[in-house]
Chains A and B, each alone.
Chain A
Amino acid sequence: MNHKEYFKPNNTQELGQLVKEFGSKVTFIAGGTDLIPQMRDEVKSPEVFIDISEIDELLSIVEEDDVISIGAATKISEVTSSFILITHCPILVSAAEQLGNILTRNRATIGGNIANASPCSDTAPPLLTLNASLVIRDIKGEVKTQSINDFFLSYKKTALQQGELITQILIPKKSEKQCGSFVKIGQRNSAAISVVSMAMMLDMDSGHCRQAKIAMGGMAPIPIRALKTEQLLKNNTINEALIESSAHHLAQEFLPISDIRGSEEYRRHLTAVLFKRSINNSLKQQGE
């Protein structure tokens, strides 16, 4: 007989005690918007629920000197209405606004969206381009920081070990020379899983691109950085020819699948289109 248990720790100390006691049997739950459907489909069968949705340390959005810290249990609806994030991470806010529908956003959390590691995750591409790091609490209660760029390993597999928990997402504050965009194409305007999504952050200096970060959803088994295309832009002057050739290159960089949402050819086509739009939108912000 399966005696499922549920605990709701009030703080990280209580959380630590529970993790110590139950070890790898724990399943963390906050919004539950991914977990509960997975339970119904019997993809996951949690034995011990640890509800982290009301632990203060996981809930705040704090602006420090160089970095923005987002508690992992912050709801997506709170991400979209945060003045700090609207100011400092507008592409993350843009992605959050397009996640699911309003009811989902009222429950789903940013940490949950990352940990679920869908290849079409909405928050992952912006976080990849923002150079985010994840603060992770391990099973012993020790804390480590890992770049999100090393976090997604393969289809729905992340660097999180059983019993580990993302507690914060750290985003370095962007400089004035940085501009970016997020765009998503879905099959409808609400509750749409991305066919293709693209986040971009550019580090510009009067038409000269010092650095580019491009990340995509829906194009690979994981949310992924387009490292090769980034190299084409790096240390180059952005002009029509470069945009055109980079778009073409980006469309070939990945091996997307064909599924019910779109074919491989359509996804590649969208990639080129979204790249041109993203780069032009980003440059407009800089007045380039």
Chain B
Amino acid sequence: MSKKNFNIIGNPFPRHDAWDKILGETLYAEDFTLSNMLHLKILRSAHPAAKLLSIDTSHAEQLPGVEVVLTAKDVPNNETVTKFGQTHDVGGFAGFSRALADKKIRFIGEAVAIVAAIDVKTATKALKLIKVEYEPLEGVFDPEEALKDDAYKVGEEDTNLICNYKVRKGDIEKGFKQADVIVENTYRVPMVDHAYIEPESGVAWMAEDKVITIRSATQVIEHFRGIAEILGVPHNRVRVIAPMVGGGFGGKEDITVETFLALVVLKTGKPATLTYTREESLIAHSKRHAYVMKYKTGATKDGKLVAMEAELIQDAGGYIYLSPWVLLYSTVKATGPYDITHVKVDTCSVLTNNTFGSANRGFGGPQPCFAYESQLNELAKLLNMTPLDIRKKNFLHSGDALATGRVLEHAVETEATAEKALVALGKPTKSKESHIKIGQGFAASMMSYGRNNFIHDTSRSYVGVELDGTVVVRCGVQDIGCGQCSSLAQIAAEVLGVALSDVSVYYGDSALTPLAGTTTATRQLYMSGNATWKAAKVVRNNLARIAGEQLKTKPTNLVFKGNKITAPDGNSLSLDTVIKSCAGQGIELYAIEQFNAPAKDLINFKTGQGQVFSDFTFGTIAMEVAVDTETGKVDVLKIISCFDVGQCVNPLSVEGQMEGGAIYGLGYGMCEDVILNKGITMTPSLGEYILPSSMDVPKVQTITIESGGGVGPFGAKGIGEPSCVPAAAAFSNAVADAIGQRIFDLPVTPERIVRALHKI
């Protein structure tokens, strides 16, 4: 790849918001206070499945200090049907949801009532005074059970099936007949939590002109529409502001505290605040879906994949939320970054009375990755091939097509990422003790960036220059810690030739910043990055036209660098001089641009044929582990992450995403498990829900490939989600290598290792 001549892009600058965070200055959702705020507490269901017979809030209301207690009857539009997309009307599926529980409880964390009081203590006391009459129902907690005709029905429909998809390529029976070896296994992955360090939180108030304003830790300020619908107020009377968010990972993608706050503000006119307790967060907010995955894979004796049949059953939990989209992502990625002659994929999403599943980093990508990367290694074992060799025989390359028929027209560097990762992993460490077995394993993956194409995704950004030569970006982007804002500053700085510190980014305000869409689906660099790039270029072109006249050269010959505009002959003008010149002539010193992702029709869900995504990020994670075969405990010795990121907008940020993603995924592979017993959460604290601590991880080594072949600005590809997708599979493969046995469930815990070794 040719060396690019960037000044800002591609350089490891600390993010422009880094100092504030390091000095403790950043004000997150809960750090914002108003006088006389009401403090909210939510009463949650005592049962995962029950008829809600009655709620008596009278005693709670009478407690001194309680302002209001709200239940479903107090919500103007308690039941809504969301069509997924950036507005309510764009996109396919209809997801029924309730703001507050009514008629029938569908999962244990379901919100039943809202208390607003003068302080948290009073609100907590009031919760206990609310009398709720339930009739517990049998419920259903296993998605395979829930699919049966006579199963308990979670909702009001006569089926628990939410949706299903198919992918058909070729003739699967023919494929298996061609296969010399076939492996067939069932993989089970549990529900896991985002476990961001900042719990869900927000403050809301009634501003001038009756605008209900909510400042909350959210990935989607455009929920203002959904909130307005629930409140029965016009869309332009709800404003959502996203401050810096203390971690999102998809868990703050759905509405969390916002509706509760808005309802109280609407009812009382007073400001209100709500922060979930950690327990509440672990019990009641969305989770990564649990899946049951049945895979049958056939290969010829030289390792060519001729048939892959996959059945994925997704446990959606009590409400639909984003389950159909997550399932769609899983469906497209079900067979991985491989060329397979005959493919049959059937996926379905099922309601149960477990906690609801929704977006979680990777959005349905990590689950099938665990399955297909395990299958590949099982085949390799039977064929006496190395895991790398069997993959090299089957990796998709640029120009090849997925099983969905979609041709991969952009860069596909999976093979290079696998080779580099393994070189970096090196030869196995020698074990010092006979009961410690060293294992090495890796997993390759594909993960889309950008939302699905039939959403007709768009993003807008404003770039303007001030008279003193400083730059302003206004963009509705929500920053959840991945440098969403800082990237825009870098892009604007690059295009306009200023220092990073010369750019201010105003972000995340649905009233005041051009809407940039959700911070989800690894789309912000791609979408708002491109929109910002477009806008910055418009401003630059305006400045270049005037500067060119003054410097007597074509605008395209000018170089914008060091706060100057320089002509080929070496003469230059300072940026602010040109700006003032433009201002004097009434030339626009700003631009708002919209970037449109490719827009496609809905794919054919019966054959799965069609284009769903703009592009994918391909990569590999490799690990070395030391397994104590007697206790099952695993020491992770090495982690290597290698991804084609297209172009590093900021290498420091990219490395950070890759390192963080690897450990986020390691937790999924090694120790995280939201344990439910008939719908009741058994792990409602961070002492019981096991995250990797600093003492459980090695340093992650990162290797980036910059193919330039992405559709983001400067040829970048997204990395936020892709970076975590193969980690759990890599961990599992490394353990399998160590112990000579495969574990087909996640997490691969010490106990499971011990059981696999037949010691108990």
Which residues of A come within 8 Å of B, CB atoms?
101, 185, 187-191, 193, 260, 262-263, 265-266, 268-270, 273-274, 277
Contacts and interface: CB of A to CB of B under 8 A. Distances in A.
Q: SS class of chain B's interface: helix, strand, loop or mixed?
A: loop
**Which has the most chain B C-beta neighbours within 10 Å: A187, A262, A263?**
A187
A223 B181 CA distance: 53
Contacts of A187: 671, 690, 749-750
Nearest to A274: B631
Interface stretch (B138-146, B235-243, B506-514, B692-700): B692-700
Shortest beta-carbon contacts, A-B, top 6: A189-B695, A190-B693, A265-B760, A190-B695, A266-B751, A273-B630
B682 interface: yes
Contacts of A273: 630-631
11 contacts: A185-B631, A185-B633, A187-B671, A187-B750, A188-B696, A190-B696, A193-B687, A260-B675, A265-B760, A266-B751, A277-B630
Nearest to B630: A273
B671 to A, nearest CB: 6
A5 to B, nearest CB: 18
Given A263-B751, A265-B760, A189 B631 contact: no
B760 A268 contact: yes
Given A190-B693, A260-B683, 19 more contacts: A185-B631, A185-B633, A185-B750, A187-B690, A187-B750, A188-B671, A188-B690, A188-B695, A189-B695, A190-B696, A191-B693, A262-B751, A263-B751, A266-B754, A269-B754, A269-B759, A269-B760, A270-B631, A273-B631
Contacts of B696: 188-190
A268 B754 CA distance: 12
**Which has the most chain B C-beta neighbours within 10 Å: A260, A263, A265?**
A260
A36 B630 CA distance: 37
A270 B671 CA distance: 18
B760 A188 contact: no
B466 interface: no
A188 B751 contact: no
Contacts of A185: 631, 633, 750
Contacts of A190: 693-696
Nearest to A263: B751
Interface string B453-470: 000000000000000000
A269 to B, nearest CB: 5
B89 interface: no
A128 to B, nearest CB: 22
Contacts of B631: 185, 270, 273-274
B56 interface: no
Contacts, number: 46
Given A266-B751, A266-B754, A273-B630, A188 B683 contact: no
Contacts of A270: 631
Interface string B605-632: 0000000000000000000000000110
Contacts of A269: 754, 759-760
**Which has the most chain B C-beta neighbours within 10 Å: A101, A269, A277?**
A269
Contacts of A274: 631
A266 B757 CA distance: 12
Interface of B: 630-631, 633, 671, 675, 682-683, 687-688, 690-696, 749-751, 754-755, 759-760
Given A185-B633, A191-B687, A266 B695 contact: no
A119 B693 CA distance: 24
A205 B122 CA distance: 65
Contacts of B675: 260
Given A185-B631, A188-B671, A191-B687, A101 B754 contact: no
Contacts of A188: 671, 690-693, 695-696
A122 B451 CA distance: 49
Contacts of B694: 190
A14 B52 CA distance: 55
A187 B633 CA distance: 8
Nearest to B124: A42
A101 B751 contact: no
B682 A260 contact: yes
Contacts of B692: 188
Contacts of B755: 266
A41 to B, nearest CB: 9
A270 B754 CA distance: 9
B161 to A, nearest CB: 31
A101 B688 contact: no
B276 to A, nearest CB: 14
Contacts of A189: 693, 695-696
A260 B695 contact: no
A262 B675 CA distance: 12
A265 B754 CA distance: 10
Contacts of B683: 260
A193 B689 CA distance: 12
Nearest to A183: B631
A270 B687 CA distance: 21
Contacts of B693: 101, 188-191
B15 to A, nearest CB: 28
B688 A260 contact: yes
A269 B759 CA distance: 8
Contacts of B749: 187
A192 to B, nearest CB: 8
A137 B633 CA distance: 42
A263 B58 CA distance: 45
Contacts of A277: 630
A48 to B, nearest CB: 19
B667 to A, nearest CB: 10
Given A187-B690, A188-B692, A260-B688, A266 B760 contact: yes
A94 to B, nearest CB: 16
A240 to B, nearest CB: 15
Nearest to A40: B277
A110 B630 CA distance: 31
B508 to A, nearest CB: 32
A43 B690 CA distance: 23
Contacts of B754: 266, 269
Nearest to A270: B631
A237 B392 CA distance: 59
**Which has the most chain B C-beta neighbours within 10 Å: A185, A188, A270, A277?**
A188
**Which has the most chain A C-beta neighbours within 10 Å: B682, B691, B695, B760?**
B760
Contacts of B695: 188-190
Nearest to B751: A266
A190 B688 CA distance: 13
A193 B694 CA distance: 16
B47 to A, nearest CB: 20
A273 B750 CA distance: 13
A274 to B, nearest CB: 8
Contacts of A101: 693
B318 to A, nearest CB: 22
B185 to A, nearest CB: 23
A202 B631 CA distance: 23
A187 B696 CA distance: 10
A234 B630 CA distance: 26
A81 B693 CA distance: 23
B693 to A, nearest CB: 4
B376 to A, nearest CB: 29
A270 B755 CA distance: 12
A274 B755 CA distance: 17
Nearest to B670: A188
A194 to B, nearest CB: 12
Contacts of A268: 760
Contacts of B760: 265-266, 268-269
Contacts of A260: 675, 682-683, 688
Nearest to A188: B696
A274 B505 CA distance: 57
A187 B690 CA distance: 7
A171 to B, nearest CB: 28
Contacts of A263: 751
Nearest to B682: A260
A265 B751 CA distance: 9
